[in-house]
Amino acid sequence: MKLSDLGEFNLIDRFSVAFKKDLPANTLGIGDDCAVIISTSETALLVTVDALAEDVHFLRSAISPADLGHKSLAVNLSDIAAMGGTPENVFLSLCLPSDLDVEWLDQFFIGFGRLAKLHKVNLLGGDTTRSAGKIFISVTALGSAVPAKIKYRSQAKLNDLICVTDFLGDSAAGLRILLNKQALAKDVSYFVNRHHLPEPQLNEGQFLGNEACVHAMMDISDGVHSDIQRILQASKCGAKLFLEQFPLSPQLKTTASQLGWDPYEIATFGGEDYGLLFTVDPSQYSDLAVRYFNKFNRPIYQIGEITNQPDQLDYFMNENKITLEFEGFAHFGGKD
């Protein structure tokens, strides 16, 4: 069997079972946005790793080195945000071709360093090796959280409302524009920046981490369709998603109608939005939404609800159940 027959998540399930057994009681291993190692009732260590491979995650000709430095760190900090934690230290591994310009690397570290400074994160170490041709970047981020406030993927409850903190699909639209080189009159830089410069939602994650009514949380890296299934599996429940409630940016609505794109396809399957996806007690939702808006001057968006049928994911458009005809991006081509 090839990896492409199995898919990324079946692959992880296949090898992780053996390594999730017999872990100490204070340790959560494979399966959430971060591993969690609880030290005391007041402190837990959060750890996450993410890799970016040239021609898989980025095109060297399309992204500036400074933006790539930013993005390499941002996607890791986003996983700390997803647990409600605070990032503290990072490690960086680089595999680089020997003909790479040193100035390219200087710019990479300017982008990386700017975001690290913004979030008061220290680069403590890493590794640098030669690659056969392509650039490969891996960042490990360490953070902290109060154990009782950590949000796991496994905590969704029946009838919870499913919410997101940001527009969906802008990053995927940016990728489409880069790949298709589509001639757009406006908003090109808006979409490309949304793809290249994601902002880890650390303050938002910490705010939601402090709320007992928020049950499950993760960040949106693979697209809502794939990511919500991680919550459903971990929490052993199902979900209804209401497409007409998906938050689309005004730019995405306009561009989609100009170019004949289906904006709901992009919002559902498009990855790398890096907003937060969470579930909340329905009786507390209105109060939470008001307090969130007062703090961040931006809304949270309700896009669905949790049901009791394990792993059942149903889509609705204006109360009609629909079957999605499109499919998203999957590493190795498997169905995730």
Q: Which residues bind Mg ion (CB under 5 A)?
A: 33, 79, 219, 221
Q: Are strands 136-145 and 86-96 parallel, antiparallel or unpaired?
A: antiparallel
Options 29-37, 193-201, 234-242, 288-296: segment touching ligand ADP (CB under 6 A): 29-37
Residue 265 binds which one of Mg ion, ligand ADP, none, with CB within 5 to 8 A depending on kind? none
Closest CA to 249 of 273, 272, 283, 219: 273
> With respect to ligand ADP, which residue has the nearer C-beta, 251 or 279?
279
Q: Please name the residue that has the structure tokens 């459903």.
A: 232
Q: Does 79 bind ligand ADP (CB under 6 A)?
A: yes
Smallest separation, CB 76 to Mg ion (Å): 9
Options 30-38, 94-102, 131-139, 285-293: segment touching ligand ADP (CB under 6 A): 30-38
Site for ligand ADP in 39-68 (CB under 6 A): 50
Smallest separation, CB 221 to Mg ion (Å): 5
Site for ligand ADP in 206-225 (CB under 6 A): 221
50 within 8 A of 139, measured Cβ to Cβ: yes
Q: Does 33 bind ligand ADP (CB under 6 A)?
A: yes
> With respect to ligand ADP, which residue has the nearer C-beta, 52 or 177?
52
**Sequence-ordered strand ranges (E) for 131-180:** 136-145, 161-164
Smallest separation, CB 336 to ligand ADP (Å): 9
Q: Please name the residue that has the structure tokens 């005809």.
A: 325
Q: Does 187 bind ligand ADP (CB under 6 A)?
A: no
Half-sphere exposure of 226 toward its Cβ, with a 13 Å CA cutoff?
25
**In 14-29, which positions are buried (b, 16+ CB within 10 angstroms) versus exposed (e)?**
eeeeeeeeeeeeeebe
Distance CA 263, CA 254 (A): 10
Distance CA 152, CA 156 (A): 9
Residue 4, token pair as written in the block: 């492409």
Residue 50 binds which one of ligand ADP, Mg ion, none, with CB within 5 to 8 A depending on kind? ligand ADP
Q: Does 31 bind ligand ADP (CB under 6 A)?
A: yes
Give the DSSP H or E segment for 25. none
294 within 8 A of 94, measured Cβ to Cβ: no
The correct pick among 3, 5, 12, 128 for binding ligand ADP (CB under 6 A) is 12
The correct pick among 3, 23, 30, 179 for binding ligand ADP (CB under 6 A) is 30
> With respect to ligand ADP, which residue has the nearer C-beta, 32 or 54?
32
Residue 322 binds which one of ligand ADP, Mg ion, none, with CB within 5 to 8 A depending on kind? none
Residue 336 binds which one of Mg ion, ligand ADP, none, with CB within 5 to 8 A depending on kind? none
Burial class (CB in 10 A: 0-12, 13-18, 19+), 212: exposed
Measured in degrees and rounded to the nearest 5, phi and psi for residue 154 equal -90, 5
Q: List residues near ligand ADP by CB under 6 A.
A: 12, 30-33, 50, 79, 221
